[in-house]
Amino acid sequence: MTINNDHAPTYAASLEALLQQAHGYALQYISSIDQRRVYPANDDIARLAAFDEPLAEAPCDASDLLSLLHLKGSPATVAQTGGRYFGFVNGAVHPAPLAAKWLADVWDQNPALYVMSPTISRLEKVCEQWLVQLLDLPEDTALGLVGGSSVSILCGLAAGRNELLRRMDWEVNAKGLFGAPEIRVLVGAQAHAAVFKALALLGLGRDRVEIVTADKQGRMRADCLPELDQRCLLITQAGNVNSGAFDPIDEICDRARRADAWVHVDGAFGLWAGASARKRSLYAGVNKADSWSADAHKTLNAPYDCGIILCRQRGALASAMQASASYLQWSEDRDNMMYTPDMSRRARAVELWATMKSLGRGGIEALVDQLCDHAVYFADRLRALGFKILNDVVFNQLLVACESPAVTRGTLEHIQHSGECWCGGAVWHGEPVIRVSVCSWRTSKDDIDRSINAFIEARAQAQDA
């Protein structure tokens, strides 16, 4: 069997037809998103069995493939791009970056080196400059674009680990960790699971971490920090994953500076508070840190797979991510692979650039403020109806409970099965909670009112059970 290698005109015509077909399916999906269930029905999920087949011996017709994907796959997707999805701090997507992503997918660029794609190199450089300005970061802060904040945390902590060891005359890239001077890692008691994953991957371990007491909102207590020294790697939070609370980063950074320690800020969704004048008090001191991680696909509502690592010391990030080989062709321009663990990857800068370009500084600020205002509106409405709001709603997160743990669990279950909206669950101070994240630019007060009706009905069902 041979693979058909059509000549360019035939290839172009074939690809154009397929893209037009995909375009039609995409428009059908977009036009129906507000009318469909937020979470797919059981029958739609059952139809996914159509994909369970042996790998065919012969090639498949591309048009038939797209048809199968749309008819069986689309109905079983979760309507995250609508206004009534409140799970996992998952944002939606703005029109401009989505369209830009489509164009970039046709380009199919590998952005590792300037010589591979001057366009993507330039766009990453522009994004770096814009983020430094938007978030008021030190002038030479370096940017790397990765899959998500789990990887960006890994990058920031690798840069911090290596730099702390370098100051102690230990080059970890050459010598490894065997016999290296000891590093102290300090995290808040409510640090995100991705932090512990990164520490495990970096050989810094989970069991040897120094846990700093957190307050009732999940903030690290600066008054409970032990004495710091130049061996300390501190990991702070700009936005607790459950409550949205921010650590007292200003005070923590001041103490770390005096000790010559390294501070990383896990700001997956909260780092964007730096774009809002109204939320600037939460952001105080964040720009004093050494490295920062964030997701553009959360609060900023860029397409998925757009994680951000920022590092005050460009050389520290580049050294931690370094790779060298005779075939690599470096340039005097930006070589993107210097700042990320991977070489070959998607051209993520296109949709990040398009998101920031389409919104501008004022649009980004308005987006952050809208999400926060809607979270407050959601909380106020629920509280007035007898639901308990267990956190101070300082950003876009709220924690909801009913009169008993059993009713809370039952209410969440009925909400998730209703199709009207979708929220996640968590355990907060030993009790089950309904975790609401207002993270979509498309969420309106009408969406919230409709979702609140789903809460009321779900609670009634749980109380009757």
CATH of residue 319's domain is 3.40.640.10
257: nearest Cα among 282, 283, 226, 234: 234
**Residues 261, 251: Cα–Cα separation, whole Å:** 13
Stretch 378-393: mean pLDDT: 98
Number of residues written out for the chain: 465
pLDDT > 60? residue 68: yes
Partners of 263 in beta bridges: 234
What was the pLDDT predicted at 3? Answer: 58
Residue 269 CB contacts under 8 Å (≥ 6 apart), including other chains = 89, 239, 294, 295, 298, 299, 395, 396, 437, 439
In a domain, 438, yes or no: no
pLDDT > 90? residue 344: yes
In a domain, 444, yes or no: no
Query: Parallel, antiparallel, or unpaired for β 85-86 and 422-428?
Result: parallel
What was the pLDDT predicted at 9? Answer: 64
Quote the number of domains for the chain.
1
Q: Do 266 and 297 meet the contact criterion of CB atoms below 8 Å apart?
A: no
Cα distance between the two ends of the chain: 61
335: nearest Cα among 351, 321, 353: 321
Give the pLDDT band of residue 465 (cuts 50, 70, 90).
confident
225: nearest Cα among 202, 248, 192, 207: 248
Q: Which range (1-15, 18-32, 261-275, 341-355) has the least confidence?
A: 1-15
Query: Parallel, antiparallel, or unpaired for β 142-146 and 307-311?
Result: antiparallel
Look up the domain containing 301 and give its range: 99-356
What was the pLDDT predicted at 239? Answer: 98
Stretch 197-205: mean pLDDT: 95
One-letter identity of residue 324: S
In a domain, 49, yes or no: no
Query: Parallel, antiparallel, or unpaired for β 232-237 and 184-188?
Result: parallel
Residue 42 CB contacts under 8 Å (≥ 6 apart), including other chains = none
In a domain, 58, yes or no: no
Q: Which range (8-12, 18-22, 245-249) has the least confidence?
A: 8-12
Work out the angle at residue 441's Cα, subtended by the Cα atoms of residues 435 and 442, and round it to the nearest 5 degrees.
95
In a domain, 55, yes or no: no
What was the pLDDT predicted at 323? Answer: 87
What was the pLDDT predicted at 11? Answer: 87
SS (H, E, C) the chain: CCCCCCCHHHHHHHHHHHHHHHHHHHHHHHHHCCCCCCCCCHHHHHHHHHHCCCCCCCCCCHHHHHHHHHHHHHHHCCCCCCCCEECCCCCCCCHHHHHHHHHHHHHCCCCCCCCCCHHHHHHHHHHHHHHHHHCCCCCCCEEEEECCHHHHHHHHHHHHHHHHHHHCCCCHHHHCCCCCCCCEEEEECCCCHHHHHHHHHCCCCCCCCEEECECCCCCECHHHCCCCCCCEEEEEEECCCCCCCECCHHHHHHHHHHHCCEEEEECCCHHHHHHCCCCCCCCCCHHHCCEEEEECCCCCCCCCCCEEEEECCHHHHHHHCCCCCCCCCCCCCCCHHHHCCCCCCCCCHHHHHHHHHHHHHHHHHHHHHHHHHHHHHHHHHHHHCCCEECCCCCCCEEEEECCCHHHHHHHHHHHHHHCCCEEEEEEECCEEEEEEECCCCCCCHHHHHHHHHHHHHHHHHHHHC
**Residues 63, 75: Cα–Cα separation, whole Å:** 18
Q: Do 131 and 326 meet the contact criterion of CB atoms below 8 Å apart?
A: no
In a domain, 15, yes or no: no
Q: Which range (3-17, 232-246, 366-380) has the least confidence?
A: 3-17
**Residues 296, 93: Cα–Cα separation, whole Å:** 10
Give the pLDDT band of residue 6 (cuts 50, 70, 90).
low
* Percent of the chain scoring above 70 in pLDDT: 98
101 compared with 6, residue with greater pLDDT? 101
What was the pLDDT predicted at 462? Answer: 98
In a domain, 6, yes or no: no
What was the pLDDT predicted at 289? Answer: 98
Give the pLDDT band of residue 429 (cuts 50, 70, 90).
very high
**Burial 256-292, CB ≥16 within 10 A → b, else e:** beeeebbbbbbbbbbbbbbbbeebeebbbbbbbbbbb
What are 245-290's pLDDT values in tens digits? 999 999 999 999 999 999 999 999 999 999 999 999 999 999 999 9
In a domain, 73, yes or no: no
What was the pLDDT predicted at 2? Answer: 56
| Residue reference for tokens 């008021």 | 136
What was the pLDDT predicted at 4? Answer: 61
Burial of residue 221 (CB within 10 Å: 0-12, 13-18, 19+) is: middle
Q: Structure tokens of 408?
A: 């809370």
Give the pLDDT band of residue 7 (cuts 50, 70, 90).
low
